[in-house]
Every structure is written in structure tokens, then in C-alpha cells.
Structure 1
Amino acid sequence: MDGLTSISDVNELLEIELPTDVNDTIGGLLLGTLGKIPNLEEENEETNAFFDDVELKAIKVSDKRIETLLVKLRPKSFLDI
């Protein structure tokens, strides 16, 4: 997913509730959570963050932003319904 996608659009599209109070974009949310642009070349570098049942993972970065990220949803089990 493009890092410039608005969190509101992601929430609506995927029917989830990521926080919208601090950041406007999905890339900004991940960047704010990680605290820096992740170095994807480093093996032990933190590149993902979790929000309840949602995982955000940096896939492509530039010097100034997270350009592309993966959004993974945890499957709901019978007990979650």
C-alpha cells in the first residue's frame, strides 16, 4: 500500500480502526510508531508495528518517508466473533 494513503481511507477500505489522532497517512503512522525511517538492509532493524489485529510493515523507504508498506490483518477466529 502506498505510504501516502490516508489512514481514514485504510480504515474504511479494510473495516478497521487504526488511530487517526496524530498522523494523517498510513506511512506516517508507521514512521511515528517506529520513531525513524527503518533501514531495510539491516537484518535486525525494526520494520513493523502492531495495532490490535493489524500489522504494518515497511517494504520500500526513501530518505524522508516510508513509500510502500504491507498491511496484514490477523484472521478472526470463531472466538473473536
Structure 2
Amino acid sequence: MHEFYVGPYRQMFLSEKRSEDDLFMIVVLGEALGVPDPAAFYSAELMPAVWDDFHAWHRRIGIPDSPLDHIACC
């Protein structure tokens, strides 16, 4: 039954998950990207969780090189 209900919408679910992940990256890396963030103290604790996906994220959103000066992933 799961495949019957989820199967036709699998692509939409993946697209929405990718959008949520992009928003999460912006929230976590916002202060480093120059966006004022009142919760930067709390989101700084999440940075190690996003380092592994940072390269794929900035390539996916259309930035060819690392947008952060202190992180050279490319």
C-alpha cells in the first residue's frame, strides 16, 4: 500500500526534501555568508553536521566556488 500512495509522488517528495535541506544550510551558514542571524550562537553548533554536504550544496544552488573565505572545498 505504501508504494501505491507514495510512488506517484516520489519525485515531488525528493524535491521538497532538497528545498528543506537548502533552507537548513542557509540557516546554519547564514552568519558565515553575511546574513545577520540572531540565533547564530545556536546554529553554530550545527555546522559540523553540514560540512559533509557543503560542497554539493553550493554547486547545486549555482555557486561554482566556495562562498566562504575560510572554507576551501573546491
Q: Same fold (TM over 0.5)?
A: no
TM-score (norm 1): 0.25
Greater relative contact order (CA < 8 Å, ≥ 6 in sequence) = 1
Q: Which structure's residues are more often helix, by fraction?
A: 2
Q: Which has the larger radius of gyration?
A: 2
Please state which structure has a larger fraction of its residues in strand: 1
With normalisation by structure 2, the TM-score equals: 0.27
